[in-house]
């Protein structure tokens, strides 16, 4: 099924209102599930979020963007901070934030003096960085 047709169906089923614009996939969206563009009314959705979290969560993201859409065209509070937006989002069981993917820690640095551990996802230059507690030397314990 076409993405625009899917959004139109969700709009009618969950809001009882038509979606009169178009929706597109946007592969550049990585941390946000979707975007609403008030200038022309179209919606963007993340292909990555859909692939990672599946269709059940994606439907909640579509509801979130449709809350922006319908409230904007009804000239009501459509921003995240607006009470009307929060109420409608709760009513239609939309999602406020996309769950963050927890990355496995790759590097563990340990202070030679006090033994404090520093988990990091990126390597650090051990000659430039010291322990924040005692200024001791950091050593790389293990990495995956």
CA distance to 25, 64, 105, per residue, from 97 (Å):
19, 9, 23
- Exactly one of 65, 84, 87, 103 is catalytic; name it: 65
Q: What pLDDT score does 121 carry?
A: 86
Q: What pLDDT score does 65 carry?
A: 96
On the 0-12 / 13-18 / 19+ scale of CB atoms within 10 A, 47 is middle
How confident is the prediction along the chain (144 residues), in pLDDT tens digits per residue? 799 999 999 999 999 999 999 999 999 998 899 999 999 999 999 999 999 889 999 999 999 999 999 999 999 999 999 999 999 999 999 999 888 776 677 899 999 999 999 998 889 999 999 999 999 999 998 765
Annotation says 65 is catalytic:
yes
């Amino acid at each position: 099924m076409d993405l625009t047709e899917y959004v139109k169906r969700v709009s009618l089923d969950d809001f009882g209102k038509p979606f009169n614009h178009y929706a597109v996939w946007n592969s550049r969206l990585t941390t946000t599930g979707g975007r609403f563009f008030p200038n022309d009314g179209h919606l963007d959705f993340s292909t990555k979020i859909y692939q990672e979290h599946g269709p059940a969560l994606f439907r909640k993201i579509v509801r979130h963007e449709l809350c922006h859409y319908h409230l904007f065209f009804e000239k009501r509070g459509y921003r995240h901070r607006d009470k009307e937006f929060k109420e409608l989002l709760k009513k239609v069981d939309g999602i406020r934030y996309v769950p963050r993917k927890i990355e496995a820690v790759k590097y563990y640095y340990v202070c030679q003096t006090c033994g404090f551990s520093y988990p990091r996802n990126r390597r650090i230059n051990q000659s430039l960085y010291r322990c924040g507690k005692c200024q001791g030397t950091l050593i790389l314990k293990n990495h995956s």
